Structure 1
Amino acid sequence: MTEIAIPRPTQGDVVQLILEDHRFFEALLRDLRDVTADRDAARAALSAVLIAHGEAEEEKVYPQLRSKDAIGEHEAEHGEEEHAEGNQALLHLLECKGTDTQKFDDAVEDLATALNHHIGEEEQTILNPARTEVGEQVRQDLGSAWAARRSELLDQDCGSIAYVEKVVARAEKEGKLPDDES
């Protein structure tokens, strides 16, 4: 397995940094669908960056945007619920033994569906208000805080199946996942 380099920004406008990660997720999803790509490497990279990205957003970005009245409680909670659903789909993908099975392909599509929905919604209901309701300096400060937390999480091997299991279990305990999922 060749390791895919995950970008590690240290500063920038938080909106731009999050958008760059969203485009990186989409590229990794394309690799996961491509039988000629190193699907194991794409899965490992997506797992790490997806968990680090979402956890850093929930800890550093959403609370600040709420305190600045850029987003409401509903938008923050909905974003967290969608992260939980994506993380659960990611866990199902990580649980696949091989990358050449129908189960793997189905898990990729389930994750892609959850992720694409969340990306579209977050860009409209969270990032747009962040662009218009929050000053440039706040976005720069948030970018630095988000990037630092994201890097910390990447250093903690947050993409490992054990770490993802903990994140999903916490979301279940906090009631962020629908009850109809197994």
Structure 2
Amino acid sequence: MTAYPIPRPVSGDVVDLILDDHRLFETLMRELRDSTADRDAARSALAAVIVAHGEAEEQQVYPRLRRKDAIDAEEAEHGEEEHAEINEALLTLLECKGTGTQKFDDAVEALNEVLQHHITEEELSILNPAREEVSEQDRRDLGAIFLEIRGKHLDAGVTVETVRALVGEAHREGVLPADAGE
């Protein structure tokens, strides 16, 4: 099994760090589309970094950018909704038994669609205002906090159960529509 390394920077501007993760998402998605790649390893790495990244943004980045008036409540809430949609698509991908099936390919396509949409919106409506409205020092301070939370989630590891719990919580809190079975 090929391991896909997840970079673990120790400092940086939060905008640059988030952009670096976005590029990593895109690289891992390319690997998931490549039938000759170690898709299982790419899936595991992508799951770990998506969850760590999203949780760090929701716990620290979005609230702090709101306090700095770089983004408003609606933008933060929309980002959280998109993270929940990404986690839901990620769960479907993680639940695929193999990586050589049409179900797997369909799950990759669905995840790519919600992930690319989120990356584009976040870079335009959250990261651009953060660049313009937040001082360089505050972005570096926020980068350190982002990396701390991201690192804790990477250290804890991500399993299908982790993602299932995040999706269930999003449904219970109304971030995602209630499941038909509830």
Question: Normalising by the residue count of structure 2, what TM-score does the alignment of the two structures yield?
Answer: 0.97
Residue in 2 that maps onto 1:78: 78
Sequence identity percentage: 64
Shift, 1:179, TM fit: 4.6
Q: Distance in 1 between matches of 2:179 and 2:173?
A: 15
Other structure's SS at 1:100 match: coil
Shift, 1:181, TM fit: 7.6
* 1:123-144 superposed Cα distances (whole Å, 9 cap, x missing partner): 0000000000000010000000
Q: Is 2:58 the counterpart of 1:55?
A: no
Residue in 2 that maps onto 1:167: 166
Other structure's SS at 2:12 match: coil
Residue in 2 that maps onto 1:149: 149
Residue in 2 that maps onto 1:23: 23
Q: Distance in 2 between matches of 1:49 and 1:181?
A: 29
Question: Which residue identity is paired with 1:79?
Answer: G
Residue in 1 that maps onto 2:175: 176
Residue in 2 that maps onto 1:10: 10
Q: Distance in 2 between matches of 1:55 and 1:181?
A: 26
Q: Distance in 2 between matches of 1:118 and 1:174?
A: 20
Q: Distance in 1 between matches of 2:15 and 2:172?
A: 30
* 1:41-89 superposed Cα distances (whole Å, 9 cap, x missing partner): 0000000000000000000100000011100000000000000000000
Q: Distance in 2 between matches of 1:168 and 1:48?
A: 15
Q: Is 2:131 the counterpart of 1:128?
A: no
Q: Distance in 2 between matches of 1:181 and 1:110?
A: 20
Question: Which residue identity is paired with 1:172?
Answer: H
Shift, 1:178, TM fit: 3.3
Question: Normalising by the residue count of structure 1, what TM-score does the alignment of the two structures yield?
Answer: 0.97
- Structure 1 unmatched ranges of 5 or more: none
Question: Any residues of structure 2 matched to 1:87-106 within 5 Å, and which?
Answer: 87-106=87-106
Q: Distance in 1 between matches of 2:66 and 2:173?
A: 20
* 1:147-180 superposed Cα distances (whole Å, 9 cap, x missing partner): 01100000111x2111111111111111111358
Segment drifting more, 170-179 vs 140-149: 170-179
- Structure 2 unmatched ranges of 5 or more: none
The runs of at least 4 consecutive aligned structure 1 residues that moved more than 4 Å come to 179-182
Residue in 2 that maps onto 1:32: 32
Asked if structure 1 preserves the Cα contact closer than 8 Å seen for 2:25 and 2:46, the reply is: yes
Q: Distance in 2 between matches of 1:126 and 1:91?
A: 25
